[in-house]
Amino acid sequence: MPNAYISGTGFYVPPRVVTNDQLREEYGIDTTDEWIRQRTGIEERRFADEGNAPSDLAVHASKMALENAELTNKDIDLIVFATLSPDFAFPGSGVILQRKLGMCDEGHFPPALDVRNQCSGFLYSLATATSMVQSGAMKNVLVIGAEVQSAALDLSSRGRGVAALFGDGAGAVIVSATDEDRGVRHFQLGADGRHADVLSQKVWDTSKRPFIPQNADGVGQVQPEMMWAQMQGKLVFKHAIERMIGVMMQTFSAQGLTLDDVDLFAFHQANLRINQYIQKSIGAPEEKFLHNIQKYGNTTAATIPILLAEAEQTGQLTRGKKVCCVAFGSGFTWGAAIIDW
């Protein structure tokens, strides 16, 4: 059985920086830099300009990952695209990325799969790609986490509890087959659908006829509580801590690892306080934790691949390092992976 390793990473964030002060001054949101920093660690985030969808951000990240892996479009056997903010209700963003990368023009039509697991989407996708590669079915899988969340944030005082948290961005990795003794050693995934409503965005409801209410002229009418994401923040916080520690310990136990064996922790970036609380509770050194929430906010499916790509770029993440990735998100869903780089 071949090993599945990460042969290349890439990332892209849109150039437009929006600081906490700008949320107040430009968008008129009743908030302060102090409130957001103290509770979340976020200082600023990136918002994509109109005209950009997740697939557009993903093109940049994918090209960087391909270049770093020294591969071309034609080497890609499968695209796995994780996002909670897909370009459209359907088709998935994976096929749109395939087209925008120019694969179709080259006569190359790899399968494309969308994964809808929100903040855990990248780890669910990594697990899927790893299994495909280890089974021998695929040699190189392009795994993307990309979000344009700014288009669906209620950027008003009413929406401040959610709008202050999220940003736009894309991260990509290529999962490749190798005979070398390296790669994804173990992954663990979980879900608890009892909490499906705790963090959700029900723009439409297919149990209703029609799925979006219409006015007398047949024009869709989406009420604010359906249009914008709804979240019970304190409950998410509590479950995130419990599940992230639990799933990480399961992977440690499956691999016979202790904290000292891990060189870097690449945790989902939902809230700096969640990650710092976990780091202190388990007694791990602060410097082993990668963070970028301060500058990008929560980029949902993109947080972990962006962290990995940035860490490779800065030289923090090099061949031989053992990385522990952990995520938790809406669903609730969660996951962890141990990777020997």
Name which position in 45, 46, 160, 186 contacts ligand ACO (CB under 6 A): 160
Reply yes or no: is the peptide bond before residue 332 cis, omega within 30 of 0: yes
Spatial distance between the Cα atoms of 58 and 145, rounded to a whole number of angstroms: 8
Tokens of 231: 């979240």
Q: How far is the CB of 206 from ligand ACO (least distance, A)?
A: 24
Q: How far is the CB of 329 from ligand ACO (least distance, A)?
A: 5
First-to-final CA distance of the chain: 18
Tell me the residue number closest to ligand ACO, measured at CB.
233
DSSP state letter for 288:
G
Q: How far is the CB of 31 from ligand ACO (least distance, A)?
A: 3
Tokens 């209410």 belong to residue? 213
Concatenated DSSP letters of 73-120: GGG--EEEEE-SS-SSSSS-HHHHHHHHTTTTTTT----EEEE--GGG
270 is an interface residue for ligand ACO by CB under 6 A = yes
Of 68, 73, 119, 271, which one is the catalytic site residue?
119
Annotation says 271 is catalytic: no
Of 268, 275, 324, 325, which one is the catalytic site residue?
268
Q: How far is the CB of 18 from ligand ACO (least distance, A)?
A: 13
Annotation says 108 is catalytic: no
Tokens 């009743």 belong to residue? 30
CA distances from 222 to 105, 148, 155, 188 (A): 38, 20, 16, 37
Reply yes or no: is the peptide bond before residue 91 cis, omega within 30 of 0: yes
* Interface segment toward ligand ACO; rule CB under 6 A; list 8-16, 30-38, 143-151, 278-286: 30-38
145 is an interface residue for ligand ACO by CB under 6 A = no
* Interface segment toward ligand ACO; rule CB under 6 A; list 32-40, 127-135, 211-219, 315-323: 32-40
Spatial distance between the Cα atoms of 167 and 159, rounded to a whole number of angstroms: 14
CA distances from 333 to 47, 85, 180, 254, 327 (A): 26, 17, 32, 20, 8
40 is an interface residue for ligand ACO by CB under 6 A = yes
Q: How far is the CB of 256 from ligand ACO (least distance, A)?
A: 29
Q: How far is the CB of 213 from ligand ACO (least distance, A)?
A: 27
DSSP state letter for 164:
T
Orientation of helix 272-282 relative to helix 33-40, angle to 10°: 30
* Interface segment toward ligand ACO; rule CB under 6 A; list 34-42, 73-81, 210-218, 253-261: 34-42
Annotation says 324 is catalytic: no
* Interface segment toward ligand ACO; rule CB under 6 A; list 45-53, 141-149, 158-166, 185-193: 158-166
The pattern of x and - marking residues 228 through 267 that bind ligand ACO according to CB under 6 A reads ---x-xx-xx--x---------------------------
307 is an interface residue for ligand ACO by CB under 6 A = no
Which strand (E) or helix (H) includes residue 315? none
- Kindly determine how many residues on this chain lie close enough to bind ligand ACO according to the rule CB under 6 A: 22
Spatial distance between the Cα atoms of 339 and 14, rounded to a whole number of angstroms: 28
194 is an interface residue for ligand ACO by CB under 6 A = no
Q: Which residues bind ligand ACO (CB under 6 A)?
A: 31, 35-36, 39-40, 119, 160-161, 164-165, 199, 231, 233-234, 236-237, 240, 270-271, 298, 328-329
Q: Which active-site residues does the annotation give?
A: 119, 268, 298
